[in-house]
Structure 1
């Protein structure tokens, strides 16, 4: 009698599966729906704990642009996070290609180092990075702390190991015979990488790009220390706005939640646009070829 693996989807009836999925989705959406409702509610009703507003204050989404420097924060976040994610993804493709196609001394140690870097608490690197940026800025007579490029370099510290590991797991699945055929036809290693590997690696590159982007977009810790008012990101602007409105008799809950919704829209749009690539990249990257 031969043993056959049981289909995981056959463990529970179809109706139970759908019920569990819908229940989990609703549970995850409760905070989001409450945030959206608060963003269109009068501040007095939010302070009173009213769950459903008696009237919808859509003007909250207009007033936030004059109350908080949200436009500047969004542009800074987009520039910093996108720059770091693009650089990390491009470098990660080349690094992963070398790690998966060549054998050299220190290769396994390098791969282990990528995992080690992901396990380090980010708070431990605030002081060393600040000291390095300050020292380099003083030596070169340029201002680094407070600039956008200081954040780009900081986010690369975490985005590069993550993107490289994602690409390593994905490139392992691509058969080397495809490159060998290209090399026989006269391609160089760089030509094989550009014409064969990169087109086949789009799903993995999208996964690396999106997760690297989220590292910069959601960061508050480093952006609080390494920015000045002109270079604050959207996350820092929200933090400052949230701290400032608490001093009023009736805090501006509606505008605060409206600003949060606006800052969440780019991330949601990013997932919706690249959903097909994200699913394909995550599932394909998890299989070792």
Structure 2
């Protein structure tokens, strides 16, 4: 009599669904407690200065000068005073106008320029790409004097006033924003499938038709990223805005500088107004990020996976 032994196979491991909690635990690089500690430290590193600025904005100048973290008395008077003390309203309006125009125009020019550089082969194409990359490595401080002399010469030889105007500052920001915006769009357009464009051309679409009907609807994440970074360039700039503006065209960043020289009673700077104005000037950028954050994630990670 022969006996047969059944072969037992080990049970197959349970499959984990993509995005499930089990898969997140498997792919996690750090243990849970250590990851929580790191996140708390990073959050505190970002939030503690913001909390201090807010508390200082509702504190008195003397209390901030004494080093008080928690105000002895709360007052929102600084938020109402900043609009008349240094002309912050006009500075914010100029910043929104100049930075917004820079963002829109640079994004529009970048997507059309990147479309030509990515989809067409012509003599000098690589030279242009390398030139755009080289322009990003030039520090802005080295360009202040040449740009100022160039724009001053425009009034001397052409009779065109550039220094002290909003559009002169816009042209300056656009010059520095275009290389980065173009490279962002070049990276994004390289990841778009060519089959969609070929199908549109078969249907009779022209080059402009492909650009407006195919490329633009698919490129919104990249366009938003390039536009936001161009907006930040104009919003945060102090160097060019200090040199190329007048009191009527100065931006919010220049208006904030006046708090460093203004003093209460000749001894104590306006710390409370300075903190309040800083929060007010940072609010538009925060709102901009909150509105377009889903486009930012897609635009910044474009080209990372082939």
Corresponding residue of 2:101? 83
User: Which stretches in structure 2 are left out of the alignment for 5+ residues?
Assistant: 1-22
> What is the Cα deviation at residue 13 of structure 1?
1.6
1:269 aligns with 2:287: yes
Decide which of 148, 152, 166 is 1:148's aligned counterpart.
166
- Is it true that 1:173 corresponds to 2:191 in the alignment? yes
Instruction: Give the conservation status (yes or no) of the 8 Å contact 2:59–2:75.
Output: yes
Instruction: Give the alignment of 1:131-280 within 5 angstroms.
Output: 131-245=149-263, 248-280=266-298
* Residue pair 1:89, 1:208 contacting (<8 A) in 2 also: yes
Deviates more, 1:140-149 or 1:90-99: 140-149
Q: Which residue of 1 aligns with 2:14?
A: none
Deviates more, 1:163-172 or 1:133-142: 133-142
Q: Select the structure that is richer in helix.
A: 1
Structure number, greater radius of gyration = 2
Deviates more, 1:150-159 or 1:236-245: 236-245
- Separation in structure 2 between the aligned mates of residue 92 and residue 211 of structure 1, nearest angstrom: 12
Distance in 1 of aligned mates of 2:32 and 2:209: 49
Q: Give the CA deviation at 1:114.
A: 1.3
**CA distance in structure 2 between the partners assigned to 1:240 and 1:247 by the alignment:** 16
Contact 2:261/2:269 (<8 A) preserved: no
**Cα 1:282–1:247 shift into 2, 3 Å:** farther
Change (3 A) 1:60 1:9: farther
Shift of 1:9: 4.3
Change (3 A) 1:146 1:247: farther
Q: In structure 2, what is the Cα distance between the partners aligned to 1:219 and 1:285?
A: 29
Instruction: State the match for 1:3 in structure 2.
Output: none
Partner in structure 2 of residue 31 of structure 1: 49
CA offsets, 1:214-258, max 9 Å, x none? Answer: 000000000000001100000001012222238822221101110
Q: Which runs of 4+ in 1 moved over 4 A?
A: 6-9
Offset at 1:197?
0.5
| Alignment pair present for 1:69 and 2:126 | no
Tell me what 2:20 maps to. none
Q: Is the 8 A contact 1:204 1:285 kept in 2?
A: no
Name structure 1 gaps, 5 residues minimum. Answer: 1-5
Task: Give the count of matched residue pairs.
Answer: 283
Task: Give CA deviations for 1:30-74 in whole Å, capped at 9, x if unaligned.
Answer: 222111111011111111111100111111101111111000000
Distance 1:169 1:247, change over 3 A: farther
Aligned to 2:147: 129
TM-score calculated relative to the size of structure 1: 0.94
Q: How many angstroms apart in 1 are the aligned matches of 2:220 and 2:174? A: 20
- Indicate how the Cα distance of structure 1 residues 252 and 11 shifts in structure 2: closer, same or farther if over 3 A, else same: same
Structure-1 residue corresponding to 2:32: 14
Shift of 1:284: 2.1
- Name the stretch that deviates more: 157-166 or 131-140: 131-140
Aligned residue runs from structure 1 range 49-68, under 5 A: 49-68=67-86
- CA offsets 1:72-114 (integer angstroms, 9 cap, x no match): 0000001001111111110000110011101111111211111
1:166, distance to aligned residue in structure 2 (A): 0.4
Give the whole-Å Cα distance in 2 for the aligned partners of 1:285 and 1:67: 48
